[in-house]
Amino acid sequence: MTGKNAKILLQVRDLAATVVGVEILKGINLTVRAGEVHAIMGPNGSGKSTFAKVLAGHPAYSVTGGAVQFEGQDLFALAAEARARAGIFLGFQYPVEIPGVSNSAFMRLAYNTVQGARGKEELDPLEFDDHVREKMKLLDMNPGFLDRSVNDGFSGGEKKRNEILQMALLEPRLAILDETDSGLDIDALRVVAGGVNHLRSPDNAVVLVTHYQRLLNYIVPDYVHVMDDGRIIKTGGKELALELETRGYDWVVDEYKKVGAAV
Amino acid sequence: MSTVLENLVNQPYKHGFVTDIESETAPKGLSEDTIRLISAKKNEPEWLLEFRLSAYRHWLTMPEPAWPNVHYPKIDFQNISYFSAPKPKKLKSMDEVDPELLKTFEKLGVPMNERAALAGVAVDVIFDSVSVATTYKQKLADVGIIFCSISEAVREHPELVKKYMGSVVPTGDNFYAALNSAVFTDGSFCFIPKGVKCPMELSTYFRINTQDSGQFERTLIVAEEGAKVSYLEGCTAPKFDTNQLHAAVVELIALDNADIKYSTVQNWYAGDEKGVGGIYNFVTKRGLCKGANSKISWTQVETGSAITWKYPSCVLLGDNSIGEFYSVALTNHYQQADTGTKMVHIGKNTRSTIISKGISAGRSNNSYRGLVRIGPKADGARNYSQCDSMLIGTRCGANTFPYIQVHNNTAKVEHEATTSKIGEDQLFYFQQRGIGTEEAVSMIINGFCKDVFQQLPMEFAVEATKLLGLKLEGSVG
């Protein structure tokens, strides 16, 4: 389903980044083609979430080296909102609560802004309501979600479903899901995976940042990358995830260090 | 704090003042002679002169209040002209109006005919001989409502003014109320007779072309038994004024079963981003629920002035009377606001609700100060207070000073308070969904203020929503 001929969506070269002066990313290289699903795994503190946030343009992080191209354009030339409009979606590990702002108003503004930027039709409140309810059915979500304030008082699972709902609405070219599976029970996990699989198409790509192999039973990746200390130190197929599940990360790190020492 | 946010809230006020002023020359200073002169100039009856003089004599004995959480250089009260009436130079047509100002009106959706009045254009040039104001006045007169300037009311309805003026805010009530009582120049008078429901919202817009509101404005609203009125003060367009000190007094009186709703949107010049200039707004607003089952509701959206010192209050004297206070106070740059309310429960089964939303940005300081007093005879009185503060950036301040005095053990008083912050993460969440920072701030703020905006009359609510966005977006300041 993918191949070397598929269009390159994301090209990351030697990416380095810091937060409050501390270097977190130390030279990441990654190529994501249309139609692919990549899983990025690795121990806590390896830089996985930082990588996701840097791609989306979080202001707390400074890019100190390297380059990223998204569909051929310099990603870092775009403000965070412009990246979103261009088709990059970040599913947040900790979705933010916005009291007093209704979920439906928020999502409609996001939807129409993104649609407008892509030269597509915007929807009025009634049309949007129909549209969003249809998407919610796919995700097995209660319509009551729409009237609640954005993520305010949501349970962990509800927040994650809300992220997937937004992804389904915004139809990104590249979805980066930052530990969307963490804290989910098995039913919620299935729903989330269903949403991601629904998005999969030859034109789009998904990057899953995850701790656990569990999610990959439902979303089968084309590539599995292991991150450690701000670098991708090993890349393999879906079977690598299973191996990590049984053997842990230490052997990969050891292997990488040996190779490094030999060079 | 992200610099994006800092830049956003630190946009300069782009209009400045209408500085071209034709002013009547007038000696400065305050004395009994000045007051006699004001009174004589306005052909006032003896009792009103006495009202002024007793207020003045009281004022002389009073210290300037030092308790508000605001700071400003000492005001020289002898350096103010108390009876000069500086008038903005009348422009001949809308073509002469600052295009920036017109843009603001456009953005705020101010109706065409009001734009002229607000911009200081000689409105009679714009209006036809049958002006909106005249039509409006006729409609009110048909149902027996009196709505005119205080000066006119003193001439035409002296018995009503004499009966009610000073009955809610006595001449010696506080330093600024005493000053106002001594030297007030004009203001609005509104009388709704027994059983009359005012057929429209009364707005000061409609007096603007006939009377310039003064530095010491006086408003008196009386709703007789079963009467009902909704009164709108101010407007969302930036208000230009050369008087730095404003000390208004507003008195509301509701008799049995009467209902008064008083809504304010205030957007006076707040000074530049360094805090220079700007209006000092020291206002005394108080409503008396005199009759049983009466209701007074204050709604305010305060966005302007360098300093705001204002506590619209309700004295709940009648049994089962209701007092409400809904407030949004937004401060930016070096603005200071010390505002809140007083709910004084005297009658039985009186109820009050306080919803206050304070938003601080820049280096501003925003304080809520509120008193809930339950008197010994106020059996079954209830109060609910909710005071929420929102901070934008790291250099502003928010304070809450709730004073609760309960002298009746059947009373029920609830107070809730929260403080939140618009943070980088919240904004990033919006941005990541394609929504720009300005729109995000506006959406967050409006969500925060929703409970108050719901209380505003529809068109005012729409304007207020836009206004808060504009104040923070920096498109107009």
Cβ contact B433–A105 (<8 Å): no
The band of A94, judged by pLDDT with boundaries at 50, 70 and 90, is: very high
Predicted local confidence at residue A11, as pLDDT:
97
B-chain CB neighbours of A101 within 8 Å are: 443-444, 446-447
Among the partner-chain residues A56, A59, A92, the one whose CB lies closest to the CB of B2 is: A59
* % chain A with pLDDT above 90: 75
From residue B342, alpha-carbon distances to A97, B220, B324 in Å are 33, 19, 10
Q: B420: nearest CA in chain A?
A: A99
Q: For residue B292, is it left (φ>0), alpha (ψ between -120 and 50) or beta?
A: beta
From residue B245, alpha-carbon distances to A43, B181, B211, B216, B278 in Å are 63, 15, 19, 9, 9
Q: Identify the residue with better confidence: B216 or A16.
A: A16
Residue A102 token pair? 């209704």
Whole-number Å distance between alpha carbons of B362 and A132: 38
Is B431 within 8 Å of chain A by CB? Answer: yes
Predicted local confidence at residue B97, as pLDDT:
61
Residue A198 token pair? 């629904």
What number is the ipTM of this complex? 0.95
Whole-number Å distance between alpha carbons of B245 and B280: 5
Whole-number Å distance between alpha carbons of A22 and B453: 45
Among B341, B286, B342, B343, residue whose Cα is nearest residue B316: B343
Which residue in B432, B437, B451, B454 has the most chain A C-beta atoms within 10 A of its own C-beta, making it the best mutation to test that interface? B432
Q: How far is B95 from chain A (nearest CA, A)?
A: 36
- Give the length of chain A: 263
- Please write the tens of the pLDDT for every residue from A30-66: 999 999 999 999 988 999 999 999 999 999 999 999 9
Residue B433 token pair? 């969904």
Predicted local confidence at residue B96, as pLDDT:
63
Residue B388 token pair? 């929420």
Is B149 within 8 Å of chain A by CB? Answer: no
Q: Under DSSP, is residue B78 helix (H, G, I), strand (E, B) or coil? A: helix
A-chain CB neighbours of B8 within 8 Å are: none
Predicted confidence (pLDDT) at residue A149 exceeds the cutoff of 70: yes
By CB atoms closer than 10 A (0-12, 13-18, 19+), residue B17 is middle
As a whole number of angstroms, the longest Cα–Cα distance in chain A is 64
Using only C-alpha atoms, chain A has a radius of gyration, in whole angstroms, of: 18
To 5 degrees, how large is the angle CA B177–CA B360–CA B367? 40
Among A65, A4, A51, A49, residue whose Cα is nearest residue A31: A4
| 0.95 surpassed by pTM | no
Q: A87: nearest CA in chain B?
A: B434
The conformation of residue B361, written as its DSSP 8-state character, comes to -
Residue B190 token pair? 């509104």
Predicted local confidence at residue A262, as pLDDT:
58
Domains, chain A: 8-262 (3.40.50.300)
- Which residue type, as a one-letter code, is found at position B69? N
Average pLDDT over residues A111-125: 94
Q: How far is A251 from chain B (nearest CA, A)?
A: 36
Is A113 within 8 Å of chain B by CB? Answer: yes
Pair type for strands A88-91 and B87-88: unpaired
Among the partner-chain residues B4, B434, B450, the one whose CB lies closest to the CB of A110 is: B434
Phi, then psi, of B362 in degrees rounded to 5: 60, -130
Quote the mean pLDDT of chain A.
92
DSSP annotation string for chain A: ---TTSPEEEEEEEEEEEETTEEEEEEEEEEEETT-EEEEE--TTSSHHHHHHHHHT-TTEEEEEEEEEETTEEGGGS-HHHHHHHTEEEE-SSPPPEEEEEHHHHHHHHHHHHHHHTT-----HHHHHHHHHHHHHHTT--GGGGGSEETTT--HHHHHHHHHHHHHHH--SEEEEESTTTT--HHHHHHHHHHHHHH--TT-EEEEE-S-SGGGGTS--SEEEEEETTEEEEEE-HHHHHHHHHH-SHHHHHHHHHHHHH-
Predicted local confidence at residue B209, as pLDDT:
31
Report residues of chain B scoring pLDDT below 70: 1-26, 83-135, 204-214, 235-243, 273, 275, 459, 473-477
